[in-house]
Amino acid sequence: MAGAPLLTGGGEWKPKNIISAISEIQQFYVIESKGQNIPVEFLTLEGTINFFKMGAGSGFTEAVFVFLLFPVFEFYLVPFVFHSTGSANILLCTVPFAFLIGNTIMCFYVSRYYVGTLTRKAINSLFLGRASILFMKSFLMYALYYCAAKLATPERVWNLALHLNQEMATDFYYGVLKILPHVIPATIICSIAMLLSAFLPYGSAYFLDRKRRRKQNNNQARVAGH
C-alpha cells in the first residue's frame, strides 16, 4: 500500500519499560492499520519473550509495591496514625494501589490497538506476562496473610509484644487484636483488585475487538447491499 511505512530487520525488540513496550505496539499498529501485511513470525520468539518479560517485570513491580505498602497503610497508618474516616480513608487506602492502577490504565489504553496479527501477538505477550505474575502474587499474598491471621492467637501476639518491646507490649497487643479481624477481609479485597487489574485489560481488548469487527461486518454488508 502506497505511503505505508515498511518494517525492516529482525523482530527482536527489547523494550526497556512498559512505556517503551506500548510505544513499540503503537508502531506495529500504525503499520498494520495502513494495510501492510506483516507475517506473525516477524515478531520472533525472542521478541515475544521480551514482551512477556516486560509484562512480567511490570506485574512483579506492581505486586511488590502493593505487598510492601498495603499492610503499612491498611493496618498501621490509617487506623493508628491518620485516624481517617469516610472519603479520606478511601483515598489513603488507594495509595498502595497507585502503581497498579496506573499501569492498568495504560494496559486499557493499549488494548485499543488490538488489531492485526503482529500487534495482537505483542499485546498478548505483554498482557500474559503481567497477568501471570499478578495472578500468582495475589494468591501468594492471600495465603501469607491468611496464615498470619490464623497463627496470631492472643497468646502468640502477647509473647511477640514482650519480645519486641516490653514497655509498649500492651499497646502493641491491643493494637494487633484490634486490626486482626480485618486482616482477611482486607486481603481478599486486595487480592481481587490485583486479579481484576490482571485480567480486565484482556476483557477490554476482546470487547473493543468484537465491537470493531461488528462495525466492519455491518459496513461490508451495507456496501454489498448497494
pLDDT in tens, 26-83: 988 888 888 777 777 788 888 889 999 999 999 999 998 898 888 888 887 877 777 6
Higher pLDDT, 219 or 136: 136
Spatial distance between the Cα atoms of 28 and 23, rounded to a whole number of angstroms: 9
What helix, strand, coil percent values describe the chain, rounded to 5?
A: 85, 0, 15
Residue 154 lies in a domain: no
Residue 133 scores a pLDDT above 90? yes
Spatial distance between the Cα atoms of 39 and 91, rounded to a whole number of angstroms: 47
**If we measure between CA atoms, which residue out of 103, 20, 113, 30 comes closest to residue 60?**
103
Residue 15 scores a pLDDT above 80? no
pTM: 0.79
Higher pLDDT, 136 or 216: 136
Tell me: the pLDDT tens digits for 157-186? 999 889 888 888 898 899 888 888 888 988
Spatial distance between the Cα atoms of 66 and 141, rounded to a whole number of angstroms: 10
Residue 176 lies in a domain: no
Residue for cell digits 488489531? Answer: 115
Residue 173 lies in a domain: no
How many separate domains does the chain show? 1
Residue 150 lies in a domain: no
* DSSP letter assigned to residue 68: H
CA atoms within 13 A on the CB side of 179: 21
Q: Tell me how far the alpha carbon of residue 7 is from its chain's centroid.
A: 30
Residue 85 scores a pLDDT above 70? no
**If we measure between CA atoms, which residue out of 195, 211, 37 comes closest to residue 112?**
211
Residue 26 lies in a domain: yes
pLDDT at 142: 92
pLDDT at 140: 93
Residue 135 lies in a domain: yes
Residue 182 lies in a domain: no
Residue 3 scores a pLDDT above 70? no
**If we measure between CA atoms, which residue out of 135, 93, 142, 125 comes closest to residue 14?**
125
Mean pLDDT of 75-101: 78
Residue for cell digits 525488540? Answer: 13
pLDDT at 125: 92
Structural domain harbouring 199: 18-142+193-212
Spatial distance between the Cα atoms of 52 and 13, rounded to a whole number of angstroms: 11
Spatial distance between the Cα atoms of 139 and 203, rounded to a whole number of angstroms: 21
Residue 84 lies in a domain: yes
